[in-house]
Structure 1
Amino acid sequence: MRPVDDAAHPLSGPAQHDTPSAAKKAGVSNLVLRVVSAAVMAPIALGVAYWGSWPFAVFWAAAGIAVLWEWITLVAGRDHKLMLSSCGGAVAVAAVLAWRERPLVALLIVALGALASSIVAPRKDRFWILAGIAYAGTMMLAPIVLRGEEWLGFIAIVLIFTIVWTTDVLAYFTGRAIGGPKLMPSVSPKKTWSGAIGGTLGAIIAAVLVAALFGGLNKTAIAGLALVLSVLSQAGDLLESHVKRHFGAKDASTLIPGHGGVMDRLDGFWAAVVAACLIGLLRGGLDAPARGLLLW
């Protein structure tokens, strides 16, 4: 499908003819909605991360299913009950297995859900449906696997939240303040190199402060980790923008005021947490992924 042009997007409607003053007011209103939504969601996410155990698994299972619903709706429209039930059920069961420290079995269940949905998916949509299940499944599994270790698991999640949120906020404000060359205009016309660099530098500083707060962490290693995860977070944001433009959508959904959908809110987190989980698994194994991520 041909990527949609922002200026001609049907969702923009009369906005093409808005005065600069009206556009500015709309931008301010949207920013206020974003701030209010973030002020509500961030404490909930941190509280659930601190609690851990089954509430954390339920939280991320719900997020994974919401992302799956948004993705399948983008690809196949709203007539997708059979596909959503087959792979959504697999994501829910996989969350329970991951919480019970059976990550490999959980991954297998997600794969089986993907296989079941591919059978009923139209041939033209099959690749995108499988990609969506992989996207939602890994978004659900990675944080649960990392949070499995009590205290270090909590620190790992807080560190990733800090990197992603700081990158997002500072990239937005730095880009607006400085402007300059666009990062990838064909995918996301508003993102700039200045915003990307500002977000990454801010994430490095914030990550080092978190390392100092909790103590016992190698600050140089954490700074390097923040650099990698911040860059990947922005890549995840661009990837999701590419998917939306491919299917002619402005937002994944309207579930979160000012942010669009759950997928819009978690695109950067998905890339960062999956990468962090892989690093942790490579260094700490299935028994200690958070330790492998944090202790260098």
Structure 2
Amino acid sequence: MATELKRRVISGVVMAAVVLAATWVGGLAFRGLAAAIALLIYFEWSTITRLTERNFTGNLVGWVGIILLSANIAFGDNGMNMPFLGGLAITMLLIVAVGGGTWWLPGGVIYAGLSGISLAAIREGGFPGLAAILFVFAVVWATDILAYFVGRALKGPKLAPRISPGKTWSGAIGGTVSAVIAGSLVGLAVIGVVSPWLAVIALLLSVASQIGDLFESFIKRRFAVKDSSHLIPGHGGVMDRVDGLVFACFAIFLLALAYDASSGHLGLSVGEFLFGL
């Protein structure tokens, strides 16, 4: 086995073990993982977009904000995460609007912060939270794996040739169909029935996941980089690994928030929103 392949396999096994262990344990372990992902995403985003060169002071403020937000995700009051991120985002927007700089600065703060917040929020709530995050994992992994294999087998028209030349419409459709099946199977295991509601949510999350993948490809192409970093041996960076996952998490988290606000079911967890548990 080639050295690079060995590194890729070993790091992949270690990553999977850490993520699945934290997912199973939940609580502080998973919140800590979500906080670490937020910090690493901001590091990679700021490196790719060269925020230190373009706006040193603004990026320093961004780092302080993301560190404080990540600490609150891991150890603080989850109800304060979104207000904190909102205040931080407004601060970064004002810094750029008044003092100049790059709009990639507030974009990075929002992207990294919402990644950590949504991941932590989905896993909250005991068994419903565990079921919810496993549902998201199943949908995203099914999308990634089947989109790759179906796309290679069927080929056909390109999905977004200027952004990611390797992706095809056949792969995107195949990934979405497999995600609906995977999400429905998780729902069957959790609530004992195949739910049309969960099938629709799985479809939406699959589409969001693929948009997230294309979004990261756009950023890398915009700044002429191959990988978001070299933090993970053989795999590139954290953003390379979680691009689709975080967009799917954004989607289900924001859908649950919107339902929560519109229905008056204040404090409803994502697991309760999905499965009615």
| Both proteins in one fold, TM over 0.5 | yes
**Which amino acid in 2 is paired with 1:108?**
P
User: What's the TM-score once normalised by structure 2's chain length?
Assistant: 0.85
The 1:269–1:107 alpha-carbon spacing in structure 2 relative to 1, beyond 3 Å, is same
State the distance in 1 between where 2:168 and 2:6 align.
22
Q: Residue 208 of structure 2 contacts residue 244 of structure 2 at CA under 8 Å; is this kept in 1?
A: yes
Seen in structure 2, the aligned counterparts of structure 1 residues 138 and 203 have a Cα distance that, compared at 3 Å, is: same
Query: Which of 17, 29, 34 lines up with 1:60 in the alignment?
Result: 34
280-289 vs 198-207, greater mean Cα deviation: 280-289
Instruction: Find the residue that maps to 2:218 and give its secondary structure.
Output: helix
RMSD over aligned CA atoms reads 2.8
- 1:237 paired with 2:218, answer no
Change (3 A) 1:161 1:173: same
CA deviation after TM superposition for structure 1 residue 107, in Å: 2.4
DSSP-derived class of the 1:279 partner = helix
Match of 1:170 among 137, 146, 154: 146
Task: State the match for 1:108 in structure 2.
Answer: 83
Cα offset for 1:213?
1.8
CA contact (8 A) 1:87 1:117 kept: no
Number of corresponding residues: 269
- Distance in 2 (CA, whole Å) between partners of 1:70 and 1:282 is 30
Deviates more, 1:206-215 or 1:29-38: 29-38
Structure 1 residues not aligned, in runs of 5+: 1-24
TM-score, scaled to structure 1:
0.80
Q: Give the C-alpha shift of residue 218 in structure 1.
A: 5.2
Counterpart for residue 176 of structure 2: 200
Query: Partner letter of residue 259 of structure 1?
Result: H
Shift, 1:179, TM fit: 1.2
* TM superposition shift of 1:106: 1.9
Residue 146 in structure 1 maps to residue 138 in structure 2: no
**Shift in Å at residue 228 of structure 1?**
0.7
Separation in structure 2 between the aligned mates of residue 131 and residue 101 of structure 1, nearest angstrom? 24
**Match of residue 51 from structure 1:** 25
1:178-197 matches, cutoff 5 A: 178-197=154-173
Relative to structure 1, is the Cα distance of residues 235 and 34 closer, same or farther in structure 2, using a 3 angstrom cutoff?
A: farther
Deviation (angstroms), 1:103: 3.9
Does 2:135 match 1:159? yes
* 1:288 aligned partner: 268
**Percent sequence identity over matched residues?**
38
For 1:145 and 1:234, how far apart are their aligned partners in 2? 21
Kindly indicate whether the alpha-carbon contact (under 8 Å) linking 2:229 and 2:238 is maintained by their aligned counterparts in 1.
Answer: yes
Aligned positions of 1:60-139 closer than 5 A: 60-76=34-50, 85-98=60-73, 102-114=77-89, 115=91, 119=95, 123-125=100-102, 127-139=103-115
Q: Are the counterparts in 1 of residues 32 and 73 from structure 2 also a CA contact under 8 Å?
A: no
Unaligned regions of 5+ residues in structure 2, if any? none
